[in-house]
Amino acid sequence: MLNLPEITTARLALLISIALALWNLAKHRLEGGRVRIRMRPGLHFDHGLSQARTWETVAEHATKRGGWSVEVAVVEVENVGRTAVTISGVGLAFRSRPWWRHKRRTVVPFGREAPGAMTATSHRLEPFDSATFVFDVWEGLEKGGNLGTPVRPLTVRAITKVAGRRRLRLSPWRSRWEVTEGQEAFIPALAKIDMLAYRRMARHTRGDQFAEMATIPTAIEMGKQFPRNGSAPTREQVQELIERSYFGESKVACGLLAFFVAHDLKPLYRSAAPPAKSEQSPSEDGGLVSDEESGQVAEAHD
Protein backbone atom coordinates (compact mmCIF):
# COMPACT_ATOMS: atom_id res chain seq x y z
CA MET A 1 0.00 0.00 0.00
CA LEU A 2 1.39 3.38 -1.02
CA ASN A 3 1.98 5.91 1.71
CA LEU A 4 1.44 9.67 1.44
CA PRO A 5 5.04 10.66 0.53
CA GLU A 6 5.05 8.20 -2.38
CA ILE A 7 1.75 9.56 -3.74
CA THR A 8 3.02 13.14 -3.51
CA THR A 9 6.23 12.20 -5.35
CA ALA A 10 4.25 10.49 -8.13
CA ARG A 11 2.06 13.55 -8.61
CA LEU A 12 5.09 15.80 -8.70
CA ALA A 13 6.76 13.57 -11.32
CA LEU A 14 3.58 13.65 -13.41
CA LEU A 15 3.41 17.43 -13.28
CA ILE A 16 7.07 17.71 -14.25
CA SER A 17 6.55 15.34 -17.20
CA ILE A 18 3.57 17.39 -18.43
CA ALA A 19 5.54 20.63 -18.07
CA LEU A 20 8.47 19.19 -20.04
CA ALA A 21 6.15 17.99 -22.78
CA LEU A 22 4.55 21.42 -23.05
CA TRP A 23 7.96 23.08 -23.08
CA ASN A 24 9.21 20.80 -25.87
CA LEU A 25 6.09 21.53 -27.88
CA ALA A 26 6.48 25.29 -27.41
CA LYS A 27 10.19 25.08 -28.24
CA HIS A 28 9.44 23.15 -31.40
CA ARG A 29 6.95 25.81 -32.52
CA LEU A 30 9.30 28.67 -31.67
CA GLU A 31 12.28 27.10 -33.42
CA GLY A 32 10.28 26.12 -36.52
CA GLY A 33 9.24 28.38 -39.36
CA ARG A 34 6.36 30.70 -38.47
CA VAL A 35 4.83 32.80 -41.21
CA ARG A 36 3.03 36.09 -40.73
CA ILE A 37 1.14 37.69 -43.63
CA ARG A 38 -0.12 41.26 -43.88
CA MET A 39 -2.01 43.23 -46.55
CA ARG A 40 -1.81 46.99 -47.07
CA PRO A 41 -3.58 49.23 -49.62
CA GLY A 42 -1.55 51.08 -52.20
CA LEU A 43 -1.38 52.81 -55.56
CA HIS A 44 1.07 51.61 -58.18
CA PHE A 45 2.36 54.37 -60.46
CA ASP A 46 4.60 53.83 -63.45
CA HIS A 47 7.41 55.43 -61.43
CA GLY A 48 6.85 53.93 -58.00
CA LEU A 49 4.57 52.55 -55.30
CA SER A 50 2.57 54.47 -52.69
CA GLN A 51 1.13 52.58 -49.70
CA ALA A 52 -0.43 53.28 -46.31
CA ARG A 53 -2.39 51.59 -43.53
CA THR A 54 -5.85 52.55 -44.83
CA TRP A 55 -7.48 53.46 -48.14
CA GLU A 56 -8.43 56.85 -46.67
CA THR A 57 -4.76 57.74 -46.19
CA VAL A 58 -3.91 56.48 -49.67
CA ALA A 59 -6.72 58.65 -51.08
CA GLU A 60 -5.33 61.76 -49.37
CA HIS A 61 -1.90 61.17 -50.89
CA ALA A 62 -3.42 60.47 -54.32
CA THR A 63 -5.45 63.70 -54.23
CA LYS A 64 -2.34 65.75 -53.49
CA ARG A 65 -0.08 63.91 -55.91
CA GLY A 66 -2.33 63.08 -58.86
CA GLY A 67 -1.14 60.97 -61.75
CA TRP A 68 -2.17 57.66 -63.28
CA SER A 69 -2.23 54.70 -60.94
CA VAL A 70 -3.56 51.21 -60.27
CA GLU A 71 -5.16 50.22 -56.95
CA VAL A 72 -3.10 47.37 -55.57
CA ALA A 73 -2.79 45.08 -52.57
CA VAL A 74 0.70 45.17 -51.07
CA VAL A 75 1.15 41.74 -49.46
CA GLU A 76 4.06 41.17 -47.10
CA VAL A 77 4.95 37.64 -45.98
CA GLU A 78 7.39 37.44 -43.06
CA ASN A 79 9.12 34.46 -41.49
CA VAL A 80 9.21 35.20 -37.75
CA GLY A 81 10.54 31.74 -36.87
CA ARG A 82 14.05 30.34 -36.63
CA THR A 83 13.85 27.90 -39.54
CA ALA A 84 13.74 28.68 -43.25
CA VAL A 85 10.40 28.04 -44.99
CA THR A 86 9.18 27.99 -48.58
CA ILE A 87 6.02 29.90 -49.46
CA SER A 88 3.95 29.56 -52.63
CA GLY A 89 0.61 30.61 -54.01
CA VAL A 90 0.75 34.09 -52.50
CA GLY A 91 -2.44 35.83 -53.59
CA LEU A 92 -5.86 37.10 -52.55
CA ALA A 93 -8.77 35.32 -50.88
CA PHE A 94 -12.38 36.36 -51.55
CA ARG A 95 -15.25 35.36 -49.28
CA SER A 96 -18.78 36.27 -50.32
CA ARG A 97 -21.45 36.96 -47.75
CA PRO A 98 -23.19 35.34 -46.03
CA TRP A 99 -20.11 33.25 -45.33
CA TRP A 100 -22.00 30.01 -44.60
CA ARG A 101 -23.38 29.92 -48.16
CA HIS A 102 -20.14 30.48 -50.05
CA LYS A 103 -16.73 28.86 -50.08
CA ARG A 104 -13.57 30.88 -49.90
CA ARG A 105 -12.04 31.52 -53.31
CA THR A 106 -8.33 32.15 -53.73
CA VAL A 107 -6.77 33.86 -56.73
CA VAL A 108 -3.07 34.19 -57.55
CA PRO A 109 -2.85 37.15 -59.96
CA PHE A 110 0.20 38.27 -61.85
CA GLY A 111 2.59 40.07 -59.51
CA ARG A 112 3.23 43.64 -60.60
CA GLU A 113 6.78 44.90 -60.92
CA ALA A 114 7.29 47.46 -58.16
CA PRO A 115 10.25 48.64 -56.06
CA GLY A 116 11.16 45.91 -53.57
CA ALA A 117 8.40 43.58 -54.80
CA MET A 118 8.65 40.03 -56.15
CA THR A 119 6.84 38.52 -59.11
CA ALA A 120 7.75 34.83 -58.57
CA THR A 121 4.97 32.51 -57.40
CA SER A 122 7.18 30.77 -54.81
CA HIS A 123 10.02 31.94 -52.60
CA ARG A 124 12.24 30.61 -49.81
CA LEU A 125 12.21 32.75 -46.67
CA GLU A 126 15.19 32.58 -44.37
CA PRO A 127 14.69 33.17 -40.63
CA PHE A 128 13.41 36.71 -39.95
CA ASP A 129 13.27 37.36 -43.70
CA SER A 130 10.31 38.81 -45.60
CA ALA A 131 9.02 39.12 -49.16
CA THR A 132 6.63 41.66 -50.69
CA PHE A 133 4.14 41.06 -53.49
CA VAL A 134 2.00 43.63 -55.32
CA PHE A 135 -1.30 42.59 -56.93
CA ASP A 136 -3.98 44.39 -58.93
CA VAL A 137 -6.98 43.81 -56.64
CA TRP A 138 -9.63 44.39 -59.29
CA GLU A 139 -8.03 42.00 -61.75
CA GLY A 140 -8.82 39.20 -59.34
CA LEU A 141 -12.28 40.55 -58.52
CA GLU A 142 -13.42 41.04 -62.11
CA LYS A 143 -11.85 37.90 -63.57
CA GLY A 144 -12.79 34.77 -61.75
CA GLY A 145 -11.54 32.29 -64.37
CA ASN A 146 -13.52 29.08 -64.74
CA LEU A 147 -15.25 29.70 -61.39
CA GLY A 148 -16.84 32.94 -62.57
CA THR A 149 -16.84 36.38 -60.96
CA PRO A 150 -17.04 36.34 -57.13
CA VAL A 151 -20.45 37.20 -55.72
CA ARG A 152 -20.67 40.52 -53.90
CA PRO A 153 -20.70 41.77 -51.18
CA LEU A 154 -17.47 40.08 -50.15
CA THR A 155 -14.31 40.48 -48.13
CA VAL A 156 -10.71 40.48 -49.36
CA ARG A 157 -7.75 39.05 -47.45
CA ALA A 158 -4.21 38.00 -48.38
CA ILE A 159 -3.33 34.32 -48.42
CA THR A 160 -0.28 32.07 -48.85
CA LYS A 161 0.67 28.43 -48.67
CA VAL A 162 3.58 27.25 -46.52
CA ALA A 163 5.45 24.12 -47.55
CA GLY A 164 4.77 21.26 -45.16
CA ARG A 165 1.63 22.86 -43.72
CA ARG A 166 -1.87 21.79 -44.69
CA ARG A 167 -3.66 24.96 -43.63
CA LEU A 168 -3.32 28.15 -45.64
CA ARG A 169 -2.13 31.28 -43.89
CA LEU A 170 -4.47 34.31 -44.05
CA SER A 171 -3.96 37.96 -43.22
CA PRO A 172 -5.74 39.12 -40.03
CA TRP A 173 -9.53 39.34 -40.17
CA ARG A 174 -9.50 42.85 -38.68
CA SER A 175 -7.53 44.17 -41.68
CA ARG A 176 -9.90 42.73 -44.31
CA TRP A 177 -11.35 44.89 -47.10
CA GLU A 178 -15.05 45.11 -47.86
CA VAL A 179 -16.28 45.19 -51.47
CA THR A 180 -19.93 46.01 -52.13
CA GLU A 181 -22.18 45.41 -55.14
CA GLY A 182 -21.45 47.87 -57.95
CA GLN A 183 -18.21 49.13 -56.41
CA GLU A 184 -15.57 49.97 -59.00
CA ALA A 185 -12.73 51.35 -56.90
CA PHE A 186 -11.64 51.75 -53.29
CA ILE A 187 -11.05 55.47 -53.96
CA PRO A 188 -14.31 56.80 -55.51
CA ALA A 189 -12.68 60.06 -56.63
CA LEU A 190 -10.46 58.08 -59.03
CA ALA A 191 -13.29 55.98 -60.49
CA LYS A 192 -13.55 57.99 -63.71
CA ILE A 193 -13.79 56.34 -67.10
CA ASP A 194 -10.34 57.47 -68.23
CA MET A 195 -8.67 56.11 -65.07
CA LEU A 196 -10.67 52.87 -65.23
CA ALA A 197 -9.71 52.44 -68.89
CA TYR A 198 -6.05 53.03 -68.03
CA ARG A 199 -6.14 50.37 -65.31
CA ARG A 200 -7.69 47.79 -67.63
CA MET A 201 -5.16 48.48 -70.34
CA ALA A 202 -2.31 48.17 -67.85
CA ARG A 203 -3.33 44.54 -67.18
CA HIS A 204 -2.68 43.50 -70.78
CA THR A 205 0.49 45.43 -71.67
CA ARG A 206 3.07 43.46 -69.71
CA GLY A 207 6.35 43.26 -71.57
CA ASP A 208 5.30 45.51 -74.47
CA GLN A 209 7.01 48.86 -74.01
CA PHE A 210 5.17 50.54 -76.88
CA ALA A 211 1.79 49.34 -75.58
CA GLU A 212 2.63 50.67 -72.12
CA MET A 213 3.46 54.06 -73.63
CA ALA A 214 0.09 54.10 -75.39
CA THR A 215 -2.01 53.47 -72.27
CA ILE A 216 -2.25 57.06 -71.00
CA PRO A 217 -3.00 58.77 -74.38
CA THR A 218 -5.56 56.06 -75.17
CA ALA A 219 -7.22 56.42 -71.77
CA ILE A 220 -7.47 60.20 -72.17
CA GLU A 221 -9.14 59.87 -75.56
CA MET A 222 -11.40 57.14 -74.16
CA GLY A 223 -12.67 59.53 -71.51
CA LYS A 224 -13.35 62.26 -74.09
CA GLN A 225 -15.05 60.17 -76.77
CA PHE A 226 -16.89 57.56 -74.72
CA PRO A 227 -18.61 59.01 -71.62
CA ARG A 228 -20.24 56.68 -69.11
CA ASN A 229 -23.79 57.63 -70.13
CA GLY A 230 -23.23 56.44 -73.70
CA SER A 231 -22.46 53.14 -75.38
CA ALA A 232 -19.36 51.11 -74.71
CA PRO A 233 -16.64 51.33 -77.38
CA THR A 234 -16.29 48.43 -79.79
CA ARG A 235 -13.07 46.56 -80.42
CA GLU A 236 -12.51 48.46 -83.67
CA GLN A 237 -12.92 51.81 -81.92
CA VAL A 238 -10.53 50.85 -79.13
CA GLN A 239 -8.00 49.55 -81.64
CA GLU A 240 -8.15 52.82 -83.57
CA LEU A 241 -7.38 54.81 -80.43
CA ILE A 242 -4.50 52.50 -79.46
CA GLU A 243 -2.90 52.62 -82.91
CA ARG A 244 -2.76 56.43 -82.78
CA SER A 245 -0.27 56.26 -79.90
CA TYR A 246 1.42 52.94 -80.67
CA PHE A 247 4.85 53.47 -82.27
CA GLY A 248 6.04 49.88 -82.57
CA GLU A 249 7.02 48.45 -85.94
CA SER A 250 4.26 45.85 -85.92
CA LYS A 251 0.73 46.72 -84.80
CA VAL A 252 -0.54 43.15 -84.82
CA ALA A 253 -0.67 43.15 -81.01
CA CYS A 254 -2.98 46.18 -81.04
CA GLY A 255 -5.90 44.04 -82.21
CA LEU A 256 -5.47 41.54 -79.40
CA LEU A 257 -5.03 44.30 -76.83
CA ALA A 258 -8.13 46.08 -78.13
CA PHE A 259 -10.20 42.90 -77.83
CA PHE A 260 -9.39 42.41 -74.14
CA VAL A 261 -9.74 46.11 -73.28
CA ALA A 262 -13.12 46.41 -75.02
CA HIS A 263 -14.30 43.28 -73.22
CA ASP A 264 -13.24 44.64 -69.82
CA LEU A 265 -14.82 48.07 -70.45
CA LYS A 266 -18.32 46.84 -71.37
CA PRO A 267 -19.56 46.33 -67.77
CA LEU A 268 -18.69 49.97 -66.96
CA TYR A 269 -21.27 51.40 -69.36
CA ARG A 270 -25.01 51.59 -68.96
CA SER A 271 -25.57 50.25 -72.45
CA ALA A 272 -23.05 48.14 -74.30
CA ALA A 273 -22.78 48.47 -78.06
CA PRO A 274 -23.40 45.20 -79.91
CA PRO A 275 -20.20 43.51 -81.08
CA ALA A 276 -19.31 43.65 -84.74
CA LYS A 277 -19.83 40.52 -86.83
CA SER A 278 -16.14 40.27 -87.52
CA GLU A 279 -15.27 40.47 -83.81
CA GLN A 280 -14.39 37.03 -82.52
CA SER A 281 -12.51 35.70 -79.58
CA PRO A 282 -8.85 35.08 -80.45
CA SER A 283 -7.97 31.45 -81.02
CA GLU A 284 -5.26 29.68 -79.11
CA ASP A 285 -2.83 30.39 -81.91
CA GLY A 286 -3.86 34.06 -81.75
CA GLY A 287 -2.63 34.45 -78.21
CA LEU A 288 -5.58 33.84 -75.90
CA VAL A 289 -4.21 33.80 -72.38
CA SER A 290 -4.82 30.56 -70.49
CA ASP A 291 -5.89 30.27 -66.86
CA GLU A 292 -2.33 29.41 -65.87
CA GLU A 293 -0.96 32.51 -67.58
CA SER A 294 -3.65 34.94 -66.48
CA GLY A 295 -3.64 33.85 -62.83
CA GLN A 296 -4.18 30.61 -60.98
CA VAL A 297 -7.64 30.20 -59.52
CA ALA A 298 -8.66 27.69 -56.90
CA GLU A 299 -11.25 27.06 -54.20
CA ALA A 300 -10.44 26.41 -50.56
CA HIS A 301 -12.63 25.44 -47.62
CA ASP A 302 -12.32 27.13 -44.24
Whether the model pTM is above 0.85: no
The distance of Cα 287 from the centroid of its chain, to the nearest Å, equals 23
In the predicted structure, residue 282 carries a pLDDT above the cut 60: no
**How high is the pLDDT of residue 5?**
63
DSSP states of 153-189 as a string? SEEEEEEEEETT-SSPEE--GGG-EEE-TT---SSGG
**How high is the pLDDT of residue 239?**
94
**How high is the pLDDT of residue 280?**
44
Q: How far apart are CA 251 and CA 247, in angstroms?
A: 8
In tens, the pLDDT along 58-81 reads 999 888 888 899 999 999 999 998
Contact 69, 41 (CB under 8 A): no
In the predicted structure, residue 18 carries a pLDDT above the cut 70: yes
**How high is the pLDDT of residue 64?**
83
Say what percent of the chain tops pLDDT 70.
82
**How high is the pLDDT of residue 277?**
44
Q: What angle do CA 211, 215, 217 make, to 5 degrees?
A: 120
Q: How far apart are CA 193 and CA 265, in angstroms?
A: 9
DSSP state for residue 230 in the 8-state scheme: S
Q: How far apart are CA 157 and CA 38, in angstroms?
A: 9
In the predicted structure, residue 139 carries a pLDDT above the cut 70: yes
In tens, the pLDDT along 87-104 reads 999 999 999 988 887 888
